[in-house]
Structure 1
Amino acid sequence: MPELPEVEVVRRGLARWVIGATFEGVEVLHPRPVRRHEAGIDDFVSRLEGVTVVDAVRRGKFLWLNLDSGEALLAHLGMSGQMLLEEPDAPDEKHLRVRLGLAGAQGRELRFVDQRMFGGLAVVEMVPTPDGGPGGLGGTPADVVPTEEPRDDGVIEGTYEAGEALIPAPVAHIARDALDPALDVDLLAARFKRRETGLKRALLDQTLISGIGNIYADEALWRAKLHYARPTEKLNRPTLNRVLAHAQDVMREALAQGGTSFDSLYVDVNGQSGYFERGLDAYGREGEACHRCGSRMRRETFMNRSSFFCPKCQPKPREGRF
């Protein structure tokens, strides 16, 4: 499943092209991707037709377009969802599910493509954020003007503005993510200690901190030299700060390379894959030499997934030694 860097790459591409554009000619080609829009397909289409996009915002792995109607078009990419910007006369993708025409997007249309159809789109109500801060990362740098030739890596330089203090209702329970300037680290540390669980399990809990998935959790823990099962209630503040700093670093590095793409399903709005998998130190490296000490990397089953770690650099903590 795409994690924070992959979704942020898509958000930046959308911000570059669709802010200020108006939806026209919306087509739902398969009902499943709009199943979360409970009022049905006709209502989904009617709530978008003639409505203008005012921002592209992300929190964790969730992405939405703020609309001038006061609602939002909420997108979740699921396992294989893609938000692609195409010329209207470009051939339809095999798994094209929703087509959204755009007036004012330099002749492009937005396509939601999803092979496995675990993702989806819905027009939803906006509600105030629980902490009164911005809903998520939004805006686009003033010094970047859309062109016919976007940067290949999908990365936009510049400073982003914070989004409004509103969030789509279905996302209101999702915690702030590791790259959110409004993240309260003191509050996060207190919540980690109260949770009394394993460290990786806490990092993956989207109600504690969002956007960190299996790949980047393994990478952050390898950099911090910590075992995934280390108890959160035993963590001191410097240790938590170190884990968080490594999680932030690894995701920023992935973002700079367009995200991590293991197959053709993880792409930006121009259909291009990221390259960060070439720099992974832990994830997917079972049996290979640790880049730090040379020991053989190990894989263990974890929450119906896998955890990759170095048994020497990241020893399992013994009782009383944390």
Structure 2
Amino acid sequence: MPELPEVEVVRRGLARWVRGRTITGVDVMDPRSIRRHALGTEDFIGNLGHATVLDVVRRGKFLWMPLQAEGSREGTLPGVALMAHLGMSGQLLMQDPDVPDEKHLKVRLRLSSSDGMPEELRFVDQRIFGGLFVTSLVPTPDGQPGGQGETPLPEIAEEAAHIARDPLDPYFSFDDFYTKVKGRRTGLKRALLDQGLISGIGNIYADEALWRAKLHYARPTDTLRRADAFRIVEAAREVMGDALAAGGTSFDSLYVNVNGDSGYFARSLDAYGRAGEPCRRCAAVGLASIIKREQFMNRSSYRCPVCQPKPRNARW
């Protein structure tokens, strides 16, 4: 499933192509892809018709496009947004009308013409775990922008209002994170995956951040020193920044950006997926250490037994 860097790659691409453009038509090829829009297909199309996309915003792995309805006064807060959930295989692709429909095309948004830009935004989803729906925007509790966007607004999609800010958010508070994580009696990786504590970090980037910070995934959070907590947050910020620069992490053809291109950060992973291979950091100083794969929460964790030794008071 795409994690924060992959969703941010999509957000930046969409912002370039759709911001300020009007939706002139909507085609729903498969109603299953708008099943989260409880009022059905006609209401979905009615909400989008002739609405202008004001921005593309992301918090954690949530992505939404604030909409200005036709006839709304300029400068008023939008109040509604088109939410996009990519799921396991969802793709948002910008295409020209003369490009043949993709095999798994589910929804098509036709956009107003703009300086030779592609005129269709297509939602393609092979496995149908993702989808689109129109949602309400609610005020942010702190009055700050709801997430990463080009024109920050103090509103957030209702479905994303419960999650914490992510490490790349300029309004992320390390002090708030540290206070909350110290109050938990859990393991460090579980805390990193808890979207109520810190959002946007999934299994891949948790393993990579823990490797960079030289911390074991079962380190008890209530014993975490402030310096260690700062180190793991900075490591998460760095690894996701590196992934962004590489266009995200792609292990197959399902994750692509709005131009249909795959990211290549998988080539730079230091821990995740490298079981049985030498730890690069240990090898650099002449130590022989092999990355281990271990069972964790019905998934896998990867670590170096030398760089990231298991604590005696490990908490899973």
- TM-score over 0.5 for the pair: yes
Give the distance between the partners of 2:170 and 2:299, measured in 1 at CA: 30
Q: Does 1:81 align with 2:90?
A: yes
1:260/1:277 contact within 8 Å kept? yes
The question of 1:99 aligning with 2:88 is answered no
**Structure 2 residue aligned with 1:138:** 149
Q: Secondary structure at the match of 1:125?
A: strand
What percent identity do the matched residue pairs reach? 65
The whole-number CA distance in structure 2 between the counterparts of 1:265 and 1:244 is 29
- The answer to whether the 8 Å contact 2:81/2:134 transfers is yes
C-alpha distance in 1 between matches for 2:17 and 2:313: 54
Distance 1:170 1:319, change over 3 A: closer
Alignment of 1:177 onto 2:166: yes
User: Does residue 277 in structure 1 map to residue 266 in structure 2?
Assistant: yes
SS at match of 2:25: strand
Are 2:106 and 2:123, in contact at CA under 8 Å, matched by a contact in 1? yes
Q: Which residue of structure 2 aligns with residue 297 of structure 1?
A: 291
| Cα separation, 1, equivalents of 2:313 and 2:2 | 35
TM-score when normalising by structure 2: 0.92
**SS state at 2:281 partner:** coil
Distance 2:291 2:123 in 1: 38
Question: Retained in 1: the 8 A contact 2:219–2:313?
Answer: no
Counterpart for residue 240 of structure 2: 251
CA contact (8 A) 1:20 1:104 kept: no
The Cα shift of 1:113 comes to 0.5
Give the number of aligned pairs: 298
Q: Is the 8 A contact 1:86 1:108 kept in 2?
A: yes
SS at match of 2:107: strand
Per-residue Cα deviation, 1:219-245 (whole angstroms, up to 9, x for no partner): 000011111000100001111000000
1:260 aligned onto 2:270: no
Deviation at 1:129, TM superposition (A): 1.1
Instruction: Name the residue aligned to 1:146.
Output: none
Query: Does the CA contact (< 8 Å) of 1:222 and 1:309 recur in 2?
Result: yes
> CA-to-partner distance for each residue in 1:138-172, whole Å, 9 max, x for gaps?
00xxxxxxxxxxxxxxxxxxxxx5x2110011111
Question: After the TM superposition, which residues 113-124 of structure 1 pair with which residues of structure 2 at under 5 Å, given as runs?
Answer: 113-124=124-135
Cross-structure match for 1:239? 228
Deviations 1:284-322 (A, max 9, x none): 0011111111311111111121100011110110139xx
User: Counterparts of 2:192 and 2:132 in 1: how far apart (Å)?
Assistant: 26
SS at match of 2:242: helix
Q: Tell me the TM-score normalized by structure 1.
A: 0.91
The question of whether the paired residues in 2 share the 8 Å contact of 1:203 and 1:209 is answered with yes
Matches within 5 A, 1:216-231: 216-231=205-220
SS at structure 2 position matched to 1:111: strand
Question: Which amino acid in 2 is paired with 1:19?
Answer: R
What is aligned with 1:5?
5
Displacement after TM superposition at 1:12 (Å): 0.4
Mapped contact 2:26–2:110 kept (Cα < 8 A) = yes
2:137 is aligned to: 126
Give every structure 1 segment of 4 or more consecutive aligned residues whose post-TM-superposition deviation is greater than 3 Å.
none
SS at match of 1:271: coil
Structure 1 segment 142-161 matched on structure 2, within 5 A: none
Q: What SS class does the counterpart of residue 316 from structure 1 fall into?
A: coil
Structure 1 vs Structure 2 CA RMSD? 1.1
Structure 2 unpaired stretches of 5+: 70-77, 283-287
Deviations 1:70-113 (CA, angstroms, capped at 9, x unpaired): 21001111111100000111011111110110113424200001
Asked if 1:287 corresponds to 2:276, the answer is yes
**Contact 1:298-1:309 at 8 Å conserved across structures:** yes
State the Cα deviation string for residues 228-284 of structure 1 (Å, max 9, x = none): 000100001111000000100000000001000100011000000001000000000
* Cα separation, 2, equivalents of 1:104 and 1:218: 44
After TM superposition, the structure 1 stretch with the greater mean CA deviation from structure 2, 124-133 or 247-256, is: 124-133
